[in-house]
Structure 1
Amino acid sequence: MPHLDVPGATLYYETDGHISKPAVLLIHAGIATLRMWDSLIPALADDHFVVRFDARGFGQSRTENVPFSDRADALAVLDHLGVASAVVVGCSRGGRIAIDLAVDAADRVNALVTIGSGPGGFPDTELTDEEDAAFDALDDAYEAKDWHRLAQLETELWAFGPARDRQGIDASFVVEAYSLNRPNAGHGADAPVVVALEPPAYDRVCDIEVPALVTVGEFDLSAVLAQQAYLAAAIPDADGYIFSDTAHLPSVEHPQEFATVLTDWLKRHDL
């Protein structure tokens, strides 16, 4: 199984498709691992070289508790595979990394796709009562070092949505969402320190010159909905898309719709 040693960590990665094809880098959400992209691979791999990895502290990657740049980790994977530049697709935390790359390593990013993501430095937004209560429960689980409970609560807040009728969510997606975050409970004690991009991307996304597709689920958290609206307005060549009947993981909950939206957009931009 392929692993890459980087300073202070060992990163697990996978590739699909032929290396001669245009590259796509997939960066997973903080409530998942690279397995969240499994259903998307068949739609991409015929025409692209698809690269994905478990970020340090997630899935099958391992880390020491050291300061690190998550941008450098992503670029290290591309460098290791001989990929000069790629379309970068990121969900949630992965989307924040993708945005940082588009701002800080523009020559490595051919296009930017975000799912339920915002730029570093985005102003704090007021939580709804449901969101505030959910974050209090997350804090309690963290303080108790109950990592499995924390993973469960994270999944319920983000993947299902704080104000959504749970009875209407497909049971198979519920099972999959829990399973995607479960491996991360084993990393609960990991404490690597992300070295944030300075200045942050919030005031710099207006300088992104590549095509961008910024998406979100209609039942995502209020702050994430605001972030998607900001990105759609601030990035010069950005298209926005809101997925219905989903929250933070539209590519997992509605994989066919997501694959169609993404591949049609890639074709439109000759990517």
Structure 2
Amino acid sequence: MLLHAGLQDSRMWAQQVPVLARRHHVICLDLPGHGQSTGYDTTQAMQQVLLRVLDELQVKQVALVGISLGGACALDFALAHPERVSKLALVSTSVSGLEDRLDAQTKQVWPRITTQLVRADTAAAAEEFTRAWFDGPARRPNQVNARARRLLYQTTLTTMRAHRLSGWPRLSSQPAAPQVAKLTVPVLVMVGQQDLPFILACGQYLQQTVADQTGLVIANAGHMVNLEAPALFNRSLLAFLRP
């Protein structure tokens, strides 16, 4: 099951699904408030939503792959329903409960985005999002893959205009950080070297705390690792998923 990043949709996995489908059954969905999802039921946490999806599909156990927001959703589900998860890949994932490690750069990201949204300038808000969550703090737009950047920007803009941040997936009220040590399934922790400091700190925490984990840092990639380094991402993920 592939869980996309915030303000993106299942199409961000276009370079992964055909490769994974050669060896695996792949479930790829749009999270609430994203893509083609409809309705705005904010009463259910994502762990409940994912459980319902798996039950409806009659899938007893799944390997979860989540990036960014999708990674946080995957982590919540694995902690709540460990018997339903065979493996867990957390890509560019923040960990709730580590807010004391937030750095100044990361703290500035969402205020800049919401300032533009308050002004009803979704194009500027989407650009702010892209600068933070694709370029990263140390790169300029002309230093990254233009095609992948444009895809992320356009998807972000479409999501902002279609959903207006309504029905955003609700995470668990219980912080994940104190619980991750009890994970017993194999965990892949993947981050891009050019990501924001807080995401790198969360990745480091997971590598230090989870017993059965494989850590991987992708050089010359930011937050959206699968878009920037698809070939390396696919090889690494396939190797992790191998029985």
More deviation, 172-181/25-34: 172-181
Report SS of the residue matched to 2:16. Answer: helix
Instruction: Kindly report the root-mean-square deviation, in angstroms, between the aligned alpha carbons of the 2 structures.
Output: 1.9
User: What is the letter of the counterpart of residue 155 of structure 2?
Assistant: L
The answer to whether 1:27 aligns with 2:9 is no
Map of 1:14 onto structure 2: none
Counterparts of 1:171 and 1:198, CA distance in 2? 38
User: What is the letter of the counterpart of residue 248 of structure 1?
Assistant: H
Runs of 4+ in 1 over 6 A off after TM superposition: none
- Residue of 105, 121, 141 corresponding to 1:146: 121
User: What is the letter of the counterpart of residue 168 of structure 1?
Assistant: Q
Residue 195 of structure 1, CA deviation? 4.7
Map of 1:96 onto structure 2: 72
Q: Which segments of 5 or more consecutive residues in structure 2 lack a partner in the other structure?
A: none
Counterparts of 2:102 and 2:95, CA distance in 1? 17
Q: TM-score, normalised by structure 1?
A: 0.83
Counterparts of 2:94 and 2:165, CA distance in 1? 24
Residue 146 of structure 1, CA deviation? 3.0
Contact 1:65 1:191 in 2 (8 A): no
User: What is the letter of the counterpart of residue 79 of structure 1?
Assistant: D
Map of 2:239 onto structure 1: 264
Q: Per residue, is there more helix in 1 or in 2?
A: 2
Contact 1:65 1:190 in 2 (8 A): no
1:218-258 superposed Cα distances (whole Å, 9 cap, x missing partner): 11111000000001111110110011111111111111110
Residue 74 of structure 1, CA deviation? 1.6
- Residue of 93, 109, 112 corresponding to 2:85: 109
Contact 2:89 2:189 in 1 (8 A): yes
Structure 1 residues 263 and 59, CA gap change in structure 2 (3 angstroms): same
Contact 2:7 2:160 in 1 (8 A): no
User: What is the letter of the counterpart of residue 184 of structure 1?
Assistant: T
Higher relative contact order (CA 8 A, sep 6+): 2
1:146-179 superposed Cα distances (whole Å, 9 cap, x missing partner): 3343222112210111221333212222222213
Counterparts of 2:118 and 2:193, CA distance in 1? 31
The answer to whether 1:156 aligns with 2:134 is no
Map of 1:48 onto structure 2: 24
Counterparts of 2:119 and 2:208, CA distance in 1? 41
The answer to whether 1:244 aligns with 2:219 is yes
Counterparts of 1:54 and 1:139, CA distance in 2? 23
Map of 1:217 onto structure 2: 192
Residue 66 of structure 1, CA deviation? 3.3
Counterparts of 2:10 and 2:78, CA distance in 1? 21
Report SS of the residue matched to 1:183. Answer: helix
Contact 2:42 2:168 in 1 (8 A): yes
1:186-215 superposed Cα distances (whole Å, 9 cap, x missing partner): 245343375542432110000000000001
- Residue of 148, 158, 161 corresponding to 1:183: 158
Contact 1:68 1:192 in 2 (8 A): no
User: What is the letter of the counterpart of residue 64 of structure 2?
Assistant: V
Map of 1:5 onto structure 2: none
Residue 108 of structure 1, CA deviation? 0.9
Map of 1:82 onto structure 2: 58
Structure 1 residues 252 and 102, CA gap change in structure 2 (3 angstroms): same
User: What is the letter of the counterpart of residue 142 of structure 1?
Assistant: L
Contact 2:95 2:176 in 1 (8 A): yes
Contact 1:158 1:248 in 2 (8 A): yes
Structure 1 residues 185 and 198, CA gap change in structure 2 (3 angstroms): closer
Map of 1:4 onto structure 2: none
Structure 1 residues 195 and 263, CA gap change in structure 2 (3 angstroms): closer
More deviation, 87-96/153-162: 153-162
Structure 1 residues 262 and 85, CA gap change in structure 2 (3 angstroms): same
Percent of aligned pairs with the same residue?
Answer: 28
Q: Per residue, is there more strand in 1 or in 2?
A: 1
Report SS of the residue matched to 1:239. Answer: strand
More deviation, 231-240/164-173: 164-173
